[in-house]
Structure 1
Amino acid sequence: MTINTKYVGKAPNRVEGPAKVTGTAKYSAEFEVPNLAYGVVVSSTIAKGRIKSIGADKVLALPGVLQVFSHENVPRQAWFDRAWKDDIAPGGSPFRPLHDDEVKFSQQPVALVVAETFELARYAAGILEVEYKEEKHETDIEQKRDEGHAPGKGKSGYKPPKSRGNANKALDEAEHRIREEYIHGTQHHNPMELYASTVHYHPDGKLTIYDKTQGVYNCQQYVAKVFGLSKDDARVINLYNGGAFGSGLRPQYELFLSVMAALELKRSVRVTLTRQQMFSIGHRPHTLQTLEMGTNPDGTLAALKHYCLHETSRFEEYTENVVNWSGMLYQCDNVHLSNQVAALDVYTPQDMRAPGAATGSFALEVAMDEMAYAAGLDPLDFRIRNYAETDQSENLPFSSKRLRDCYHLGAEKFCWSKRPMAPRSMREGNRLIGWGVAGGVWDAQMNKASAKATITADGYLTVESAAGENGTGTYTIMTQIAAETLGLPLEAVTFRLGDTNMPEAPVQGGSWTAATVGTAVQKACQALGEKLLKLAQKMDDSPLKGASLDDVEFVNGQLRLRTAPEQSVVLRDVLQTSGEREIAADSTAIPNLINMAKYSMHSHNVVFAEVMVDEDLGTVHVSRVLNVCAAGRILNQKTARSQVLGSVVWGISMALMEETVPDHRFGRYMNHNYAEYHIPVNADIHNIEVLFVEEEDPYVNPLGVKGIGELGLLGVAAAITNAVYHATGKRVRRLPIYLDKLL
């Protein structure tokens, strides 16, 4: 029987799928540990001020209540700011839960009630009386337009934008010009799984922490530094993640509170946030953008100016790369980019799927549509006319770029040539029909990661790395890479992740996991293959004597010569003959710094959208979306398509529904629940098609892969916005597009 071991690029089912659909996959609040107590967080009701008193005595008198933790009795922790910083912390002083009596933002945790049962803890938290001295707050960035400042340190990964040429002079001389402001409000991640930490307190004082996170090592480092523990004393595990979208890149405050309570009470503790409290752990910032563009008589861009102002907290200077993409996506010699922040009485914003790019590309791509109409050009033709062959911001060639192929393939599939230019020129009965186009660009990143591969005498392979799995398909693609590298069936390979007892991997974010951990897995399996070859060459009458690793291949559970496949040995026989019960190898993968200096590495996409707008009611239905991505080598067609499908759904949400609404009188988000924070349901989603234009890229990483999870979101909201204009003739520049904006 021949086993097909060519898995990379195919579409096998998720290897963890059965565990998820049968309920055997455990999430962070589902681990049963002995002697478990329950903590419930009490959140502030003001946006700024001081805590005058906390009425703990009444609550502590309830039988079964173990403790009320607040700033009045919080145990001593690390003093310096650097101890509280995680891997992706922005500049400034990180938030310290229960540190003192100061309230810095609405819904700040001000107390933790711990009890024998969850129900009792919830009741006790509900009756805890907290008295405040309220101070004047500022939460409205639209009142701070003139108070922005250029960020200092920004955040990890922030790159100050680079300008070039003389944009003002070129604008003055341009044939056609536009200048508009584009706004979208605050958005929150809202993954289905609530943030939770279950801390197992062992008799020897060591902790096993099951935390909802995108980076177990990041959380372990945070806990160790804050509480003065050795890493051996705090093991962090996250096997499955019910969505995160960037909200789990940083340790959230339930981790601190649960560990603090477990150490103080010397027993296991679980803390789970409520849906309302999920709105207090970070968000995509409210952002104001201004774009100016001008064209030459031939329709090429003469100048581009992009200014952004977004909010940050008073205590950290979070900054997104909002405007940088405008200097890269299109050919233009005169570009001025400016990124500013304004400090408000809100919690620090946080990375949210395609941070900065989702925001910046919306404004850029709607402005490109407006500029095309001002110049009398088809919006797709205008983009192709201004195609960037090189990255002008960095003055580097792209490692690979097939965006032009995406344009042509998408236009053909969508039948773009049949689109009339004039708005309000397509309809069915009382429904106005519009077609829009937009695109995006996202970093193709790789970081340092390690992996370990172990094969046993029965021929089964286990590979492990402390990566995360947010539902993106990490379990599956790593299994595919390992199986193909060592020529084994998928059923003979197990990939394990999410545990600080495993080789280190970075947080799962930035769409770098496939490239980063995938390369480490491949290298570990190759190192194991080299050990297997040496053992095979020691076998009596070995057909592989004298062969190098380049001379052999792993196929169908065998190790054989490439030039003479009949000269082979079975992997199980190699181990059994050697007498070894198992053989292991580990490896660390690092990015190629030379290639990173020589090439601009990015993935690209283009989105075509069709909308139907009820002429009388103003309701918008997105009837068709086509997303065409150029993202290097696609490892799994099914999981990759699912990633982009999810991103398109989010883009529809971003365009038409999603907004966290503040009441600035109280400095508080008013729709902090699933009932009023609107997201799409099945009835909102219609025909979505995803296509990939694969790229051969020998420079980006050994696997030739690029991230797609963030990329798939780019262009969707802008394409829908542009389609709404084409349907109605009304240009909307503030998201989301509610029906009242079209009536």
Structure 2
Amino acid sequence: MEFNQPADQNIFDQATIIGKPHQRIEGRLKVTGRAPYAYERHDVVNNQLVGYPLGSTISKGRITSMDTTAARAAPGVVAVVTTLEMEPLPLGFYNVARLFGGNEVQHYHQAIAVVVAKTFEQARSAAALIKTSYEIEEGDYDLDAVFRLVQGSGKPTTDVGDVEAAFRNAAVVTDELYHTPSHSHAMMEPHASIVDWSDGDRLTVWTSNQMINWNRDSLATTFGIDKDKIRVESPYIGGGFGGKLWLRADEVLAAVGSRAARQPVKLALPRPMMINNTTHRSATVQRIRLAADTGGRLIGIWHEVASHTLPGGRGEDATAQTPFFYAGANRRIIHHLADMNLPEASDMRAPGEASGLMALEIAMDEMAEKLGMDPVRFRVLNDTQVNPSDPKMPFSERHFVECLERGAESFGWDGRNRSPGKKREGMWLIGHGMAGAYRGGPTLDSGARVRLKAGRLIVETDMTDIGTGSYTIIAQTAAETMGLPMEAIEVRLGNSAFPVASGSGGQFGAASSTAGVYAACLALQETIAKRLGLDNPRFEGGNVQTATRSVPLSDVAPDEELVAEDTITFGDFKKSMVLATFGAHFVEVGVHIGTGEVRVRRMLAVCDAGRILNPTTARSQVIGGMTMGIGAALSEELATDLGRGYFVNHDLAGYEVAVHADVPHQEVIFLDTTDASSTPLKAKGVGELGICGVAAAIANAAYNATGIRVRDYPITLDRMIDRLPAVG
């Protein structure tokens, strides 16, 4: 099915199932422990052995020798494979970090060996017996030093208008430096896989991965196997946040170990290796300069950022939102991508916008304060309905002003603390802050297969569910399209034997995969109509209907299975517009006047993301993003050892995510909007919008509470305590 123009009115505009709240259909399996995650799939293959990884203890250099004598002789050990035993494995889709092979070390905890044994304890114990010698080389680990060197150089990614003149002629200018630290995905489920490579050149993988087809392609490249000889299954994923988009060391080591042992091997990365071996969100250094006229209109935006990566990687482009979000005729945007010897930086929830808005939305508040304007009014004034970097390109739909105004009214913004440091309750200074949210709304081609038998419908697609509600919204789409109740739908996900879907990531999964299921259902409708000799029938109430005839779907193929398959593809017409999602976050905090502790007291998010397919699962996504925003604002930081080049706090005791005690009352409002240019369902993703801008709203609220402006995240006690008002 080709989607070549905006959707007309269709079945989803009078939806009875889509757009309605529905509990997750796999929820009971998860809360009762019956949903088998990758490491727990004991029944998929017999005679499983256990693998344990060994990571490098240096960040840059070469391995000169590895003594595995003791490890091979340890109890229960079946196989030991070291990186020195093979050439570097080819890199698959979007991987830049060396996954295994060769003597070069690119980063700390790079996988250098795998031990396969009969039990986990035996494998772990034996891995500790491997003796490794290194030739250490000096590495680059200091992003601030890099920014000082490159600032002001490089070719801008966006350079519109006369930026220098705008700043010379501006009535008001701000110019500040902001820092965001490296972040870990810190998902509950580790990177884990079971791999069976005991059958010649056929490879079967049960893993935790967000993108089945990308993963399969990467395995084929890395191991030089025909893609058709690889099967990948990932029906349940215990969190990903972008950390499970790509092929990682757990699959590679399990595959290498299985080939050596000639038995299936299961392997999970220990938490320290998850943080230092897999990907993370890069730290950023951001200089933001804003120029405004006396009326408060932005006339110049200058955003310059540095982030780090391994050679060939993408880092964290914190300028991602700046070309599009606010009006202004003149703007210059530069992203410096610094090659450093830290673990690979790559996608994490809302890559780019999450970090960029942590800085930009503080800068917007600082400009509003200089102008003497309400931060909400200032943002409303600088709204735009066209791409400010290319005014001939409109937004498909943009309701940012409505988000701001609806949020201000619902939050009680008019009753906020208006003078920083002036509202106090006992030992707590009370502050209010807000920020805008922006995240793109892309779609990817997505396919599905549907099977109808005896009135029941099975949906098959390699789409994944990373806790986002894919099972449920796909079932709702199929039920709505085919006129069946939810109870008549079975959804099967995460298997490379199914049609290729978009996968989960980039905020494209929900919109894309449901559109693919819709396409497959339309193909099935056509098959049914031809079978019954009906023209343009309706599918309602479990029946196929025309004005003169009604046939129960259960009678269409009572003794056989009707199968249809299709893929939705998206036309070039989208290139003439900007598709994006918008939001506004409002926050109240308390800051302890004696310690500087910041506590979030209440939060509100207002979201504009097209048709909301399921308010229950969508709200879950938004409050999850808001919670991650609390962590980003107040506690999360991968502390870098600048001498040795690794993340010191590489566990969940030292890397402090927001927990239940940190999360206050959270409210989410979805605007009743649709975007006909997005998909036939007129929906856009919402899973990453929820984190965008949250940290800045908290930082702005902390400033409002205390009068202390913190531009370096996280906002910990030490950044407050020496500047707090006297206790009195």
The reply to whether TM is greater than 0.5 is yes
Q: Could you say which residue in structure 2 is the equivalent of 1:587?
A: 566
Would you say 1:609 and 2:605 are equivalent positions? Answer: no
Say whether 1:286 aligns with 2:264: no
Aligned counterparts of 2:78 and 2:293: Cα–Cα separation in 1: 72
Structural RMSD (CA): 1.9
Residue 713 of structure 1 pairs with residue 691 of structure 2: yes
Q: Which sits farther off after the overlay, 131-140 or 266-275? A: 131-140
After superposition, the C-alpha distances for 1:105-124 in whole angstroms (9 at most, x for unaligned) are 11111111111221100001
Q: Write the deviation string for residues 161-208 of structure 1: whole angstroms up to 9, x where unpaired.
A: 322111111111111111000001111111100111101345465232
Superposed displacement of residue 66, structure 1? 1.9
State the distance in 1 between where 2:696 and 2:553 align: 53
Which of these residues, 704, 714, 725, is aligned with residue 736 of structure 1?
714
Say if 2:419 and 2:704, in contact at 8 Å, map to a contact too: yes
Partner of 1:253: 249
C-alpha change, 1:668 and 1:203, in structure 2 (3 Å) is closer
CA contact (8 A) 2:196 2:264 kept: yes
Distance in 2, Cα, partners of 1:673 & 1:262:
28
Quick one: structure 1 residues 589 and 725, their matched pair in 2 at CA, closer, same or farther if it must change by over 3 Å? same
Check conservation: 2:528, 2:556, Cα contact below 8 A.
Answer: yes
The offset of 1:556, in angstroms, is: 1.2
Q: CA deviation at 1:376?
A: 0.9
Partner of 1:397 in structure 2?
Answer: 394
Q: 1:365 aligns with which of 358, 361, 367?
A: 361
Q: Which residue of 1 is the match for residue 265 of structure 2?
A: 269
Equivalent AA in structure 1 for residue 91 of structure 2: W
Shift of 1:434: 0.7
Partners of 2:108 and 2:645 within 8 A in 1: yes
Q: Deviations over 1:203-224 (max 9, x none)?
A: 4652321011111211211112
SS of residue matched to 2:627: helix
Deviates more, 1:425-434 or 1:184-193: 425-434
Partner SS, residue 448 of structure 2: strand
Deviation larger for 284-293 or 325-334: 325-334
2:35 corresponding residue in structure 1: 25
Report the equivalent of 1:84. 91
Is the contact made by 2:321 and 2:353 (CA closer than 8 Å) also made in structure 1? Answer: yes
> Residue 205 of structure 2: which of 209, 231, 240 is its match?
209
Q: SS of 1:42's equivalent?
A: strand
Change (3 A) 1:151 1:251: farther
- Is the 2:92–2:247 Cα contact (8 Å) retained in structure 1? no
Provide the rounded CA distance (Å) in 2 between the counterparts of 1:598 and 1:204: 50
Query: Does the 8 A contact of 2:297 with 2:381 survive in 1?
Result: yes
CA contact (8 A) 2:633 2:699 kept: yes
Contact 1:149 1:342 in 2 (8 A): no
Show CA shifts across 1:598-626 (max 9, x none). Answer: 22111100000110111111111100110
The Cα of 1:355 is off from its aligned counterpart by: 0.2
C-alpha separation in 2, matches of 1:203 and 1:60: 24
Determine what percentage of the aligned residue pairs are the same residue: 36
Provide, for residues 403-451 of structure 1, a one-character-per-residue CA deviation record: whole Å limited to 9, x for no partner.
Answer: 1111111011011112243211222122111111101211111111111
Q: Distance in 2 between matches of 1:187 and 1:298?
A: 38
2:66 corresponds to which of 43, 51, 54? 54
Answering whether residue 446 of structure 2 is matched by residue 449 of structure 1, we say yes
> What residue is the counterpart of 1:140 in the other structure?
142
Q: Against the structure 1 CA distance between its residues 160 and 18, is the aligned structure 2 distance closer, same or farther, given a 3 Å change threshold?
A: farther
Superposition deviation, residue 5 in structure 1: 8.4
User: 1:253-402 to 2 correspondence within 5 Å?
Assistant: 253-279=249-275, 280-313=277-310, 315-395=311-391, 396-402=393-399
Does structure 1 residue 558 correspond to structure 2 residue 540?
A: no
SS of structure 2 residue aligned to 1:26: coil
| 2:280 alignment partner AA | H
Q: Contact 1:151/1:319 (CA < 8 Å) preserved in 2? A: no
1:162 matched residue in structure 2 = 158
1: CA distance, partners of 2:102 / 2:544:
64
Partner SS, residue 112 of structure 2: strand
In 2: Cα distance, 1:72 partner to 1:202 partner: 22
Length, aligned pairs only: 704
The amino acid that maps onto 1:500 is: S
Partner of 2:10: none
Deviation of 1:249 after TM superposition, in Å, equals 0.8
In 2, Cα distance between equivalents of 1:99 and 1:337: 39
Using the alignment, how far apart are the partners of 1:560 and 1:638 within structure 2?
32
> Partner of 1:666 in structure 2?
644
The answer on 1:63 being equivalent to 2:63 is no
The answer as to whether partners of 1:306 and 1:336 remain within 8 angstroms in 2 is yes
Alignment partner for residue 193 of structure 1, among 189, 192, 195?
189
Q: Which of 457, 463, 468 is residue 461 of structure 1 equivalent to?
A: 457
Task: Find out whether 1:422 has 2:427 as its counterpart.
Answer: no
Residues 77 and 226 in structure 1, CA contact (< 8 A), matched pair in contact too: no
Q: Structure 1: 5+ residue runs without aligned partners?
A: 153-158, 538-543
Match of 1:156 in 2: none
- Once the two structures are TM-superposed, the CA of residue 536 in structure 1 deviates from its matched residue by 2.2
Residue 272 of structure 1 deviates from its aligned partner by: 1.0
One-letter code aligned to 1:427 = R
Deviation at 1:592, TM superposition (A): 2.4
CA spacing shift, 1:389–1:506, aligned 2, 3 Å: closer
Give the distance between the partners of 1:521 and 1:333, measured in 2 at CA: 42
Deviation at 1:151, TM superposition (A): 12
Q: Which amino acid is the alignment partner of residue 30 of structure 1?
A: E
Equivalent of 1:16 in 16, 26, 37 = 26
1:203–1:132 Cα change, 3 Å: closer
Aligned to 1:113: 115
TM-score, structure 1 as length reference: 0.92
| Contact 2:180–2:285, Cα closer than 8 Å, also in 1 | yes
In the TM superposition, residue 368 of structure 1 has moved relative to its aligned partner by 0.3
Residues 575/150 of structure 1: CA separation in 2 closer, same or farther (3 Å cut): farther
Tell whether the 8 Å contact from 1:5 to 1:556 is kept in structure 2 after alignment.
no
Shift of 1:506: 3.1
Q: Report 1:176-191 matches (<5 A).
A: 176-191=172-187
Write the distance in 2 (CA, Å) between the matches of 1:203 and 1:56: 27
Equivalent residue number for residue 36 of structure 1: 48
Partners of 2:84 and 2:337 in 1: how far apart? 34
Pairwise CA distance, 1:72? 2.7
Q: In the alignment, which residue of structure 1 is the partner of 2:4? A: none
Residues 548-607 of structure 1, C-alpha deviation per residue, up to 9 Å, x if partnerless? x2xx3211111112xx4x74111112223xxx501011101011211x122211110000
Paired residue secondary structure (1:120): helix
TM-score, structure 2 as length reference? 0.94
| Pair 1:123-2:102 in alignment | no
Contact 1:316 1:348 in 2 (8 A): no
In 2, Cα distance between equivalents of 1:225 and 1:46: 28
Q: Which amino acid aligns with 1:46?
A: I
Residues in 1 aligned to 2:301 and 2:15: alpha-carbon distance in whole angstroms: 50
Q: Deviations over 1:466-524 (max 9, x none)?
A: 01110000000000000010000101001111011000123310111111111110010
Q: C-alpha distance in 1, partners of 2:100/2:318? A: 33
Measure the CA separation in 1 of the matches of 2:443 and 2:514. 10
- Structure 2 Cα separation of the partners of residues 485 and 722 of structure 1: 45
CA-to-partner distance for each residue in 1:61-118, whole Å, 9 max, x for gaps?
22321222113323x676xxxx5231x44xxxx3333322121111111111111221
State the Cα distance separating 1:137 from its structure 2 match: 2.1
Report if the CA contact (8 A) 2:305-2:317 is conserved.
Answer: no
1:54 aligned partner, one-letter code:
M
Which position in structure 1 is the counterpart of 2:9? none
Q: 2:104 aligns with which of 102, 109, 115?
A: 102
